[in-house]
């Protein structure tokens, strides 16, 4: 187990809802003596300091990470990639680094390319959050009961793996391990695709008809309220898998459409039963 204040200086690059929640969780569990935040937005730092989510903040990533023994990359994927390049030569020996990016292959590749061997990096994806964003929604218990996928490779050190796993476990997450590419494929289906479907669905509805929307439509499109910028970033960083998942969904929809047009109720019942059975499996298996 960790000792209290295992990290002297923990740094969060990207103080949004997830980064802020990590800062709060580090403090709640007494894991860091000092928590420093970095954001490109001064206002975000001010809010985080005012809400006592971080001890201090800066807009300069290199300044933020000086002397850090834990660095969490919690910005959008594209920004994480830029941060990796920017800070790679300035991290102290033995510094533990992880990230929270929603796609992993690009980040893990960049980290393995740029970080020197004395930096203890492993990729993470805590599957927590909601359609809300911003540090004001930070919550120390955000990761309790959530799945966190870690993506070590054969280049990942045992120490990086163990320390980051302990961190997520102390935050209350269930840690699972996957290859970065396998993660990106799975997430394209279970997370990125549902968002694309929700965005596409609500866009397709003529505005005049929205007033007739009931609970089913509300549920089905809830995630369409998520941050456009964040989702553009996720899609761009995982475009191959996202496009493939969209293709599979369109194929599935085309099978249903054919049975609809044929008014083939037996075929429709069969298709819907397949969906229903998988939905029941999901209900059993998911940690939602």
Nearby residues of 259 by Cβ (< 8 Å), 6 or more positions away: 267, 268, 271
> Of these, 28, 113, 118, 276, which contacts a second copy (CB under 8 A)?
276
The answer to whether residue 249 forms part of the interface with a second copy (CB under 8 A) is yes
Stretch that binds a second copy, among 6-14, 60-68, 82-90, 208-216 (CB under 8 A): 208-216
Minimum CB–partner distance for residue 55 and a second copy (Å): 31
The answer to whether residue 232 forms part of the interface with a second copy (CB under 8 A) is yes
Residue 73 — φ and ψ, nearest 5°?
Answer: -90, 105
Total residues in contact with a second copy, by rule CB under 8 A: 95
The answer to whether residue 239 forms part of the interface with a second copy (CB under 8 A) is yes
- Please report the sign of the dihedral spanned by the C-alpha atoms of residue 257, residue 258, residue 260, residue 266: negative
C-beta atoms surrounding 209 within 10 Å:
9
Task: Give dist(CA 116, CA 280) in Å, integer.
Answer: 46
The answer to whether residue 1 forms part of the interface with a second copy (CB under 8 A) is no
Q: Choose between 43 and 232: whose C-beta lies nearer to a second copy.
A: 232
Task: Give dist(CA 274, CA 21) in Å, integer.
Answer: 38
Minimum CB–partner distance for residue 276 and a second copy (Å): 6
The answer to whether residue 56 forms part of the interface with a second copy (CB under 8 A) is no
Task: Give dist(CA 225, CA 129) in Å, integer.
Answer: 13
DSSP sequence for 63-104: HHTTT-SEEEE-S-HHHHHHHHHHHGGGPPTT-EEEE--S--
The answer to whether residue 132 forms part of the interface with a second copy (CB under 8 A) is no
Minimum CB–partner distance for residue 251 and a second copy (Å): 7
Looking at residues 138 to 177 of the shown chain, list those that interact with a second copy (rule: CB under 8 A).
Answer: 146-147, 149, 176
Q: Choose between 159 and 282: whose C-beta lies nearer to a second copy.
A: 282
Minimum CB–partner distance for residue 187 and a second copy (Å): 7
Looking at residues 57 to 76 of the shown chain, list those that interact with a second copy (rule: CB under 8 A).
Answer: none
Minimum CB–partner distance for residue 229 and a second copy (Å): 6
The answer to whether residue 104 forms part of the interface with a second copy (CB under 8 A) is no
Helix (H, G, I), strand (E, B) or coil at 38: strand
Task: Give dist(CA 170, CA 172) in Å, integer.
Answer: 5
Task: Give dist(CA 195, CA 204) in Å, integer.
Answer: 14
> Of these, 41, 59, 130, 153, which contacts a second copy (CB under 8 A)?
130
Stretch that binds a second copy, among 42-50, 91-99, 111-119, 204-212 (CB under 8 A): 204-212
Stretch that binds a second copy, among 10-18, 31-39, 99-107, 206-214 (CB under 8 A): 206-214
Sheet strands side by side (includes 123-126): 123-126, 147-151, 174-177
The answer to whether residue 235 forms part of the interface with a second copy (CB under 8 A) is yes
């Amino acid at each position: 187990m960790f000792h209290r204040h295992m990290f002297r200086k923990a740094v969060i690059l990207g103080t949004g809802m997830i980064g802020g929640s990590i800062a709060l969780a580090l403090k709640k569990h007494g894991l860091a003596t000092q928590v420093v935040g970095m954001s490109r937005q001064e206002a975000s730092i001010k809010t985080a300091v005012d809400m006592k989510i971080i001890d201090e903040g800066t807009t300069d990533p290199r300044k933020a990470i000086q002397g850090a023994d834990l660095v969490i990359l919690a910005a959008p994927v594209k920004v994480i990639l830029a941060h990796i390049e920017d800070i790679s030569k300035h991290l102290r020996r033995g510094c533990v680094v992880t990230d929270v990016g929603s796609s992993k292959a690009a980040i893990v590749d960049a980290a393995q390319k740029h970080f020197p061997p004395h930096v203890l990096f492993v990729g993470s994806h805590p599957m927590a959050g909601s359609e809300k964003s911003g540090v004001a929604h930070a919550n120390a218990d955000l990761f309790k009961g959530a799945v966190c996928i870690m993506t070590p490779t054969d280049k990942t050190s045992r120490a990086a793996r163990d320390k980051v796993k302990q961190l997520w476990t102390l935050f209350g997450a269930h840690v699972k391990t996957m290859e970065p590419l396998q993660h990106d494929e799975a997430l394209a289906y279970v997370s990125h695709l549902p968002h694309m479907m929700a965005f596409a669905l609500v866009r397709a509805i003529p505005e005049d008809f929205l007033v007739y929307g009931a609970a089913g439509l509300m549920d089905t499109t809830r995630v369409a309220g998520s941050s456009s910028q964040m989702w553009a970033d996720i899609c761009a960083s995982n475009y191959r898998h996202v496009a493939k998942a969209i293709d599979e969904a369109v194929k599935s929809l085309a099978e249903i459409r054919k049975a609809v047009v044929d008014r083939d109720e037996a075929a429709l019942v069969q298709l819907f039963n397949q969906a229903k059975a998988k939905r029941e499996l999901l209900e059993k298996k998911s940690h939602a």
